[in-house]
């Protein structure tokens, strides 16, 4: 495997590092701004220079550069090295923006993309319902076109950031006479209206990251639909593709493993230093093997992207790898904590796979790893997709996806 990027790319790395050393940490007026505002302004400058939001046209606030996976990787490495902010995280930037760019109307891109990538417009994803998770196409939230508005009634659940969101991208049943996948529309709904009630769900971590959302005659203009009426299912597949790819990331697995090794170095297990215990050493060595295979699988995905090839099911495999590793690492951490594992977890401000907050941070990490394995499609569903579409195995016998009922 040749991991050298070559002279042209090393020159590009020097260019990016040079730009960063002049612009990060913020200087002058930018340094006086509150942190979030300063970071937003810095991101806008980096987009302008062509380093961030590279696949987004300039007219929507992006960097507008030809696709180049290696340059993208070099930029990530250079920004991470000096801890400079990268693309705004969040469901809007990571999932809605790519969907709008692929399937949205021109006015929708103009209205939403720039504000979303700058962090000014906050989104939530209204897909799951109490009776519809993995079998999402059975969703029941109803949208009726009355005059020049959609009127929406129903309930969504597990809606992350609904408390803060300005808008929701939402799947609704608009064509009740059509088979289930064909009767869904993808609507953009303003959250700040009296007809929408957001009710936070308290988690075992003590935090409340997601919510129930009740829509009772909620309204949105008729043209706030992405794709045509009844095309919402195929539009939603665009969004999920981006969500799954964004969750599988070997760098996070490496960072969390490093934290685990640091914990093992200072812990006692079975009455002796944990690193002297053969069972702990074996579990650590096994995990390191998984992380290395995750890393090289990530490099395979990267190589395919760099050659402009379809990454196929590797993105799904990487999501499963990273969630499995997150779960196994935190299980071992909990064993190392012993009685301290019974303490209250420290709740995170935002979803992250990296533990903070000392021992209690590891307890939070353990609890969160259970949820991360479910978010964006459960491991079982993804194994089915890998088996059926990737390996050509027969379809799961009990999954009813064709009858339309
Ligand atoms: C941290 C987190 C954040 C989330 N954020 C959002 C959000 O912002 N917006 C949103 O809309 N949703 C969100 N969700 C919801 C998430 O998409 C659903 O939880 C997920 O799709 C699973 O649905 P479910 O919870 O109804 O479980 P179910 O579908 O009831 O699954 C239960 C179990 O059955 C298994 N199973 C079900 N069907 C099959 C099958 N056909 N083959 C094999 N196994 C099967 C599953 O793998 C799982 O183990 C979030 C969830 C989590 C945990």
| Model pLDDT for residues 230-285, shown as the tens digit of each residue | 999 999 988 666 554 444 467 788 888 999 999 999 999 999 999 999 999 999 99
Q: What is the mean pLDDT of residues 174-202?
A: 96
pTM: 0.87
**Closest residue CA from atom 32 of ligand 1:** 134
Q: E-strand spans in 72-209?
A: 123-126, 142-146, 149-160, 167-173, 184-190, 196-201
Residues 224 and 269 in one domain: no
Instruction: Please report where in the chains the tokens 């020049």 appear, as a residue.
Output: 148
Atom of ligand 1 minimally distant from the CA of 399 = 41
Q: Is the CB of 380 under 6 A from ligand 1?
A: yes
Is 134:101 a contact under the CB 8 Å cutoff?
A: no
> What's the gap in Å between 375 CA and the centre of ligand 1?
6
Residue after which a domain boundary falls, among 202, 230, 258: 230
Whether residue 219 is found in the same domain as residue 128: yes
Of 134-138, 196-200, 277-281, minimum mean pLDDT range: 134-138
Mark residue 404 as left, alpha or beta (left: phi above 0; alpha: psi -120 to 50; beta: remaining). left
- Count the Cβ atoms, other than its own, within 10 Å of residue 194: 8
Terminal Cα-to-Cα distance of the chain (whole angstroms): 49
What CATH number is attached to the domain comprising 198?
2.40.110.10
15 is catalytic: no
Distance from C-alpha of 195 to C-alpha of 55, rounded to nearest angstrom: 36
Segment 11-23 shows an average pLDDT of 96
Residue 355 located in a structural domain: yes
* 12-16, Cβ contacts within 8 angstroms, sequence gap of 24 or more: 12/71, 12/74, 13/74, 13/77, 13/78, 16/51, 16/74, 16/75, 16/78, 16/79
For residue 383, the CA-to-ligand 1 centroid distance in Å is 14
Q: Is 396 in the pocket of ligand 1 (CB under 6 A)?
A: yes
What is the residue with the minimal CA distance to atom 44 of ligand 1? 380
Query: What is the total count of domains within the chain?
Result: 3
Q: Is the CB of 239 under 6 A from ligand 1?
A: no
Protein residue with least CA distance to atom 42, ligand 1: 381
State residue 243's pLDDT score. 53
The residue range of the domain holding 44 is 7-81
Q: Which residue has the least CA distance to atom 38 on ligand 1?
A: 134
Q: In the predicted model, what is the mean pLDDT of the chain?
A: 88
- Which CATH number belongs to the domain containing residue 306 in this structure? 1.20.140.10
| Ligand 1 contact via 268 beta carbon (within 6 Å) | no
């Amino acid at each position: 495997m040749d991991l050298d990027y070559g002279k042209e790319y090393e020159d590009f790395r020097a260019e990016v590092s040079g730009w960063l050393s002049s612009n990060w940490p913020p200087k002058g007026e930018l340094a006086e701004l509150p942190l979030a505002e300063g970071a937003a302004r810095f991101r806008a400058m980096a987009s302008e220079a062509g380093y961030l939001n590279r696949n987004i046209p300039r007219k929507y606030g992006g960097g507008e550069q030809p696709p180049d996976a290696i340059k993208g990787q070099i930029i990530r490495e250079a920004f991470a090295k000096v801890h400079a902010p990268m693309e705004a995280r969040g469901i809007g930037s990571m999932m809605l923006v790519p969907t709008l760019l692929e399937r949205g109307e021109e006015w929708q891109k103009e209205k939403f993309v720039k504000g979303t990538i700058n962090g000014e417009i906050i989104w939530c994803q209204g897909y799951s319902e109490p009776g519809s998770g993995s079998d999402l196409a059975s969703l029941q939230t109803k949208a009726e076109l009355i005059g020049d508005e959609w009127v929406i009634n129903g309930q969504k659940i597990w809606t992350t950031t609904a408390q803060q969101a300005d808008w929701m991208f939402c799947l609704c049943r608009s064509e009740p006479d059509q088979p289930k996948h064909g009767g869904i529309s993808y609507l953009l709904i303003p959250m700040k209206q009296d007809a929408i009630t957001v009710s936070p769900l308290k988690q075992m971590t003590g935090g409340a990251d997601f919510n129930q959302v009740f829509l009772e005659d909620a309204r949105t203009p008729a043209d706030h639909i992405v794709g045509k009426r009844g095309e919402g299912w195929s539009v939603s597949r665009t969004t999920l593709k981006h969500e799954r790819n964004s969750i599988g990331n070997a760098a996070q697995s490496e960072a969390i493993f490093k934290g685990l090794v640091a914990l093992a170095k200072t812990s006692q297990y079975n009455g002796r230093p944990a690193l002297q215990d053969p069972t702990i050493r074996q579990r650590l060595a096994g995990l390191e093997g998984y992380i290395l295979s995750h890393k090289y699988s990530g490099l395979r995905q990267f190589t395919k992207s760099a050659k402009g090839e379809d990454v196929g099911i590797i993105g799904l495999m990487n999501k499963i790898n990273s969630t499995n590793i997150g779960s196994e690492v935190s299980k071992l951490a909990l064993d190392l904590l012993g009685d301290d594992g019974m303490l209250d977890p420290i709740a995170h401000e935002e979803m992250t796979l990296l533990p903070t907050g000392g021992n209690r941070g590891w307890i939070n990490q353990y609890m969160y790893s259970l949820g991360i394995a479910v978010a964006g499609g459960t491991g079982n569903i993804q194994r089915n997709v890998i088996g059926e579409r990737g390996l050509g195995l027969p379809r799961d016998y009990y999954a009813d996806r064709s009858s339309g009922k």
